[in-house]
Amino acid sequence: MVVLVTGSNGQLGQSLQFLAPRFPEIQFVFCTSSDLDITNKQNCEAVFAQIQPHYCINAAAYTAVDKAESEPEKAYKINVMGAKNLAEVCKAHRTILLHISTDFVFDGKKTTPYTETDIPNPTGVYGKTKLEGEIEIQKTLEQHYIIRTSWVYSQFGHNFMKTMLRLASERDRISVVNDQIGTPTHAVDLAECLVKIICHRELVEVQKPTNHDFGIYNFSNEGQCSWYDFARAIFSINDISIHLQPIPTSEFPTPAKRPAYSVLDKTKIKTVFGIDIKDWESRIRCQ
């Protein structure tokens, strides 16, 4: 079984590389943006023709939430046209696509966890382009899994945890917003979830082929917290003593508006694939 991974230099791509040795039955092919440019359909077609993947995990995305407000064309090119290109090439090669999306497709006005059937209403360029990418995939390719996730962090790449640890080495005091509520997601857990979906799919194909499980799914770790709570846990686990000040979002303006509440309901993914999801607090202790 051949699994092609785009965006292999990112958090998720590196997490999949970390997990790959555990799954010797899968031949992973990891592609950076220079190996496979998802915005270039001709390049996508050439790579797919050579590799002939059974699955494609699209971990390539424009994820600079604030910068997207001033670079909408670049965000659109990667998040929308890139997703469309992959969907079209996957269809031509009968490849199943696993595409990563985001909690930013929602406006954050709910006070209970978002399900896959809640109506998206993104408020910024990043969320809008990710939603448009989802739509292009749904229009083009039946055989897809769209996985919405939130607050991704890991030992790899750039993320909130690494930023907090860096700031703690530079400052005596840090202010973090405490009125945005969501759930941290360990990138390795997300990577493991994707591989389990593939393994489940292969087992189902052997036992009883079906296309009924394709569609949109939510995945994050369990529980919920504010960014302030997340930062406090990071410092506590790393035995870092620092003055951490909770502040409202109004005191920390950003170019892109963040959802005030973006907790995701994981009932569907747990039910369909039997995935056991770890609590965010216990997972962060494993760093």
Each residue of 226-282: pLDDT tens digit?
Answer: 999 999 999 999 999 999 999 999 999 999 999 999 999 999 999 999 999 999 999
Inform me whether the pLDDT recorded for 287 exceeds 80: no
Domain-located, residue 50: yes
Note whether residue 165 is domain-resident. no
Instruction: Using pLDDT thresholds of 50, 70 and 90, give the confidence band for residue 285.
Output: confident
Nearest CA to 27 out of 185, 162, 170, 198 is that of 198
Question: CA 47, CA 4: separation in Å to the nearest integer?
Answer: 10
Q: Is 242 among the domain residues? A: no
Per-residue confidence (pLDDT) for residue 194, from 0 to 100: 98
Number of domains the chain is built from: 1
- CB distance 64 to 39 below 8 Å: no
**Domain presence at residue 126:** yes
Classify residue 120: in a domain, yes or no: yes
What is the distance between the alpha carbons of residues 84 and 100, in angstroms, rounded to a whole number?
13
**What does the DSSP 8-state code read for residue 68?**
G
- Give me the domain span that covers residue 210: 2-159+184-223+263-278
Question: Residue 71 falls within a domain, yes or no?
Answer: yes
Mean pLDDT for all residues in the chain: 95
- Asked whether residue 60 is assigned to any structural domain, the reply reads yes
What is the model's pLDDT at position 185?
Answer: 98
CATH number at residue 56: 3.40.50.720
More confident residue, 205 or 130: 130
Is the residue at 251 inside a domain?
A: no
Query: Above pLDDT 90, what percent of the chain?
Result: 94
Alpha helices in the chain (DSSP H): 11-19, 41-51, 72-76, 82-93, 125-140, 160-170, 187-207, 227-237, 267-273, 280-284
Confidence of residue 157 (pLDDT cuts 50, 70, 90): confident
Which of residues 80 and 209 earns the better pLDDT score?
80
- Looking at 62, 76, 114, 126, which residue is catalytic? 126
Q: Is 126 a catalytic site residue?
A: yes
Structure confidence by residue, pLDDT tens digits, 201-215: 887 665 555 556 999
Residue 54, pLDDT above cutoff 60? yes
